[in-house]
Amino acid sequence: MERIAIDAAGAELSEVGAQVPRASELAAGTCVVVFASARRGWLSKMLARDAAPLHVLCSALLARGYTEIAGGQQDGRVCAWGVAPDSRTAGPRAP
């Protein structure tokens, strides 16, 4: 499974969605991880800007067509991830 990491740390909320590629442009099963915050060393904790809220990251992934969306922390950084669906099974089906 391919994995793409996007660093949205310090980005304006309106820019976060634009950084996420459309799921339809990627191979099925590709996992996209969007990091909302930088690594948290002692200096960055003192000078850090607020990270993008987790629900904003998840909404950006949903709007771009990802499935299996979740969020949490990886290596002490807030992040959200989603998987590009198989185009044959994504979206609504005709009756």
Tokens of 80: 């959200």
Q: How far apart are CA 86 and CA 2, in angstroms?
A: 14
Residue written as token pair 């979740």 = 70
pTM (2 d.p.): 0.76
Please tell me the predicted confidence (pLDDT) of residue 81. 95
Q: Which two tokens stand for residue 19?
A: 């950084």
What average pLDDT does range 4-28 have in this prediction? 85
Distance CA 88, CA 66 (A): 14
Confidence of residue 94 (pLDDT cuts 50, 70, 90): very low
Mean pLDDT of 67-77: 89
Q: What are the domain boundaries of the chain?
A: 3-83
Alpha helices for the chain (secondary structure H): 13-19, 42-47, 54-63
pLDDT in tens, 33-71: 999 866 555 555 555 555 678 888 899 999 999 999 999
Can you read off the two tokens belonging to residue 63?
């709007």
Provide the 10 A C-beta neighbour count for residue 62: 14
Report which DSSP code applies to 20. S
